[in-house]
Amino acid sequence: MKDKMVWFLSKDELGKMQRFANKEDYTTFRFCGILVIVFQMVMFLFKTIEGRSSTHSMLYRGLYLCLVFITIVAILLLSKLRENEKNVALFYRVVKVYLFLVELWAIGITCIGCLHGNDTSTFAYTVLACVAVIPIQPIVAASITVFSTVLINVAFIVIPSIHFYPGMMIQTVSACLLAIIVSVSSFTMRVKRNRLIFARDEHLKEIEILNAKLRDEAEKDGLTGLYNRRFLTQHIDQKLEVGDAPSAVLMVDIDYFKNINDKYGHQNGDECLRVIAEEIKNCIKHRAGYAVRYGGEEFMVFFESIKKEELLDLAEKLRARVEKMKIELNTHTHISCTVSVGYSCAVEGLLYSEMINEADMRMYEAKEDGRNKVCGKE
């Protein structure tokens, strides 16, 4: 990603960043929320111990409890929202609302303090703390803090009991500017860090895709797209390690394939191989089986789990479908061909290598018996 101003991130980048930071931001928010609750309860108890029953004391205590309530609701709501990635946008919307409510609370308690001779430090520190802690875009943080700053200064002017002096405005405007600076610098660091992480992840993803492609190319036959002997050996070895051998094997050989090559050329012979390989893939599409180009015009299919009746039906269906096909060659002519199929099913004491030999032997029996047949041990 190109580096750019963090004030106006694209919707996609902001969404990606928020999804990435969601859990971490909740942890930070919860920690700060707990501190807010603790401090407000301490202040509430302090005001209660004072024993004053004046109106402003009651207002103070009410505002302390109000902030505690708002913070608890925000923490619980964010805890629910962070569990589902679809709620990320709503998660940060709640954060913004909380920030706005806290700043309104700061305006209220500051005005009460000014009515009784206190300064504006409550508003100033609250604005800065909110922007520093809560991870939202600077444009949003700036909008809320500027609005709050204007609102409190209007309150200073219109509330008759507050004796306005320039220091009040200077203090609140300074807090607003400082908050914006903190927001921009903090958010910029987060964006730069996340862009580096995203760039790294994208690079790793590209490497993984490339590795998968290389693995696929290493395990696939370039002409037919079927698996090759290398895949067959590795996959079977892995299954044998956990004591899980294939349940059945088919050996398929194209009849008179040499004649096709001699008469129509090797390019047309390759086209014949591709078409029949595709037909084999279609036949086993919804079964737990793997098709392999075993060598030349010979194919092998092994099944992880299949009943003998289903295997015979599939082998016969494949033979019949190939027999009915009209393969279009590069010369715009069509030819027909057939296949001979041998099969072998797993029985107790029969090794995997013996299953292949058995299927191969049955395939040659089919050829010797006139070709275009399915043979196997009954």
Query: How high is the pLDDT of residue 115?
Result: 78
Q: Does pLDDT of 4 surpass 60?
A: no
Asked if 339 and 252 count as a contact pair (C-beta separation under 8 A), the reply is yes
Is residue 150 domain-shared with residue 243, that is, in the same domain? no
Instruction: Say if 290 falls within a structural domain.
Output: yes
User: Is the same domain home to 62 and 145?
Assistant: yes
Please give the mean pLDDT across all residues of the chain.
Answer: 84
Structure-block tokens of residue 86: 């679809």
Per-residue confidence band for 37, with pLDDT thresholds at 50, 70 and 90: very high
Largest Cα separation within the chain, whole Å, is 113
Which DSSP state fits 87?
G
Q: Kindly state whether residues 313 and 178 are assigned to the same domain.
A: no
| Strand (E) or helix (H) holding 378 | none
Q: How confident is the model at residue 1 (pLDDT cuts 50, 70, 90)?
A: very low
DSSP 85: G
More confident residue, 60 or 348: 60
- CA-CA distance, 15 to 88, in Å (whole number)? 8
Q: Which of 362, 325, 111, 88 is nearest to 250 (CA)?
A: 362
Q: Are residues 159 and 95 in the same domain?
A: yes
Q: How far is CA 208 from CA 100, 197, 202, 225, 240, in A?
A: 44, 16, 10, 21, 27
Q: Is residue 215 a part of any domain in this protein?
A: no
Domain containing 342 — which CATH number? 3.30.70.270
pLDDT tens-digit profile of 152-192?
888 888 888 777 777 778 888 888 888 888 888 878 887 88
Which one has a higher pLDDT value, 77 or 112?
Answer: 77
Residue 285 confidence (pLDDT): 83
pLDDT at residue 7, rounded to an integer = 62
Mean pLDDT, residues 273-295: 89
Mean pLDDT of 356-361: 90
Sequence-separated (6 or more) residues with CB below 8 Å from residue 167: none
Encoded tokens for 329 = 């060659």
Around Cβ 178, how many Cβ atoms within 10 Å?
A: 16
Closest CA to 101 of 139, 134, 76: 134
Task: Please indicate, yes or no, whether residues 138 and 246 belong to a single structural domain of this protein.
Answer: no
Are 45 and 175 in a shared domain?
A: yes
Residue 221 lies in a domain: no
**16 and 131 share one domain:** yes
Same domain, 234 and 159: no
Best mean pLDDT range from 57-61, 101-105, 120-124, 160-164: 101-105
| The total number of structural domains that make up the chain | 2
pLDDT category at 2 given cuts 50, 70, 90 is very low
Which range of residues forms the domain containing residue 335? 229-376
By the 10 Å C-beta count (0-12 exposed, 13-18 middle, 19+ buried), 342 is classed as buried
Q: Report d(CA 37, CA 59) in Å as an integer.
A: 17
Q: Within a domain: residue 224?
A: no
Q: Where are the alpha helices (DSSP H) in 82-226?
A: 88-115, 121-133, 138-158, 166-219
The helix/strand/coil state of 371 is coil
Question: Do 37 and 180 have their domain in common?
Answer: yes
Examine the pLDDT at 324 and tell me if it is beyond 80: yes
Per-residue pLDDT for 20 more than 60? yes
Residue at 213 is within a domain: no
Are 310 and 168 in the same domain? no
* DSSP sequence for 5-59: -STT--HHHHHHHHHHHHHHHHHHHHHHHHHHHHHHHHHHHHHHHHT---HHHHH
Question: pTM for this one?
Answer: 0.55
**For residues 48-61, average pLDDT:** 78
Q: Are residues 117 and 189 in the same domain?
A: yes
